[in-house]
Amino acid sequence: MTPDAAPPAPVLSDGIVSLRPLGEHDVPDITLTAQDPLVARWTTIPTPYAQADAEAFVAERGGGAGPLPTWAITVLPDHRYGGTVDLRPDGSGGAEIGYMLAPWARGAGHAARALRLACAWGFSALRLEVVTWLAYAGNDASLKAARRAGFQVPEHIFRGYAVQRGERRDCWVGTMTPDDLMAAARQTEGRREFLGPDLTRRELDVLRQLARGASNRAIATELGISENTVKNHVRGILEKLQASSRSQAVVSALRLGLVSLPT
Ligand SMILES: CC(C)(COP(=O)(O)OP(=O)(O)OC[C@H]1O[C@@H](n2cnc3c(N)ncnc32)[C@H](O)[C@@H]1OP(=O)(O)O)[C@@H](O)C(=O)NCCC(=O)NCCS
């Protein structure tokens, strides 16, 4: 898929963090975020940054269309703009990911959730084979978020790998494949630090059965519970994944790396 053939970036959510297209109403918050010293230090964002820069950014990237899928990161309870994440496809099955969180959205692991949502969408909708990540060496918060999301990042420092405002910077470089994302999702699930919609353990069991195409009766037999209980779990799953059918729930769950298709 070539970059200019990218489908519109849709709304994505894991129940805690949501990604939605940027809009003009985000301009004041984007401006505040881009003026934050940490953002200036660790990204290529222009400095000084004025409201006109945010307006130009939204004009170019807003609305979810365009070759570089770009989202506002929003967080419960008020869905206020809390950051930006984007994918920059290379047209050959790869894309680089970029992100920043607003100061008011930091410190709760939201970056890792946003990275997973964007990568999962890239793997399914853009058929990406790999997403690459880079940060200037020393950006520990970003490294932690990336590794938590599933990026494989070796300790190696790549000398002068990237340019920031005309100056070469040492970098950490990592990659994520669909398998890495699945493995990370499974690992956090195992640690009961599940990074996804707030599904119960039982709902996850039922969701896995749904991915296998099992009927309510078959699920009830497999899990040793009544068909009525299965129905209740399916209702809960649909609600939490904001899905209107079982198959839509399975598609969402696949995107989020919650389940895999039987081989
Ligand atoms: C990188 C960024 C998106 C991470 O946001 P976040 O998800 O809120 O990250 P957190 O603040 O939860 O930090 C993530 C982890 O790093 C740790 N961390 C934060 N700052 C750290 C530091 N200076 N040194 C070591 N660890 C640090 C946190 O304790 C947390 O770990 P924990 O969850 O185990 O406690 C955010 O800091 C940011 O927007 N930075 C400026 C822009 C930027 O760097 N963008 C990325 C460019 S590659």
* In the block, residue with structure tokens 């047209």: 91
Find out if CATH 1.10.10.10 is the number for domain 198-255. yes
- What three-state secondary structure class fits 226? coil
Q: CB of 193 closer than 6 A to ligand 1?
A: no
With a 6 Å cutoff on the Cβ, whether 110 touches ligand 1 is yes
- At 145 the pLDDT is 97
Helix (H/G/I), strand (E/B), else coil: 259: coil
Mutate to test the pocket of ligand 1, among 49, 106, 164 (most ligand atoms within 8 A of CB): 106
Please, where in the chain does CATH 1.10.10.10 lie? 198-255
CA-wise closest residue to 75 among 50, 39, 104? 104
Decide yes or no: CATH 3.10.450.50 for domain 3-183: no
Among the listed ranges 56-60, 118-122, 200-204, which one has the minimum average pLDDT value? 200-204
At 128-160, the pLDDT tens digits run 999 999 999 999 999 999 999 999 999 999 999
- pTM across the whole model: 0.77
Query: Which atom, in ligand 1's list, is nearest to the CA of 36?
Result: 41
Average pLDDT in the chain: 90
Q: In whole angstroms, give the CA distance from residue 45 to residue 54.
A: 10
Question: What are the pLDDT digits (tens) for 8-34?
Answer: 888 999 888 999 999 999 999 999 999
Q: What is the pLDDT of residue 243?
A: 84
What pLDDT shows up at residue 241?
Answer: 84
Separation of CA 150 and ligand 1 centre (Å):
15
> What integer pLDDT is reported at residue 188 of this predicted model?
74
- Range 35-58 average pLDDT: 97
CATH 3.40.630.30 residue ranges in the chain? 3-183
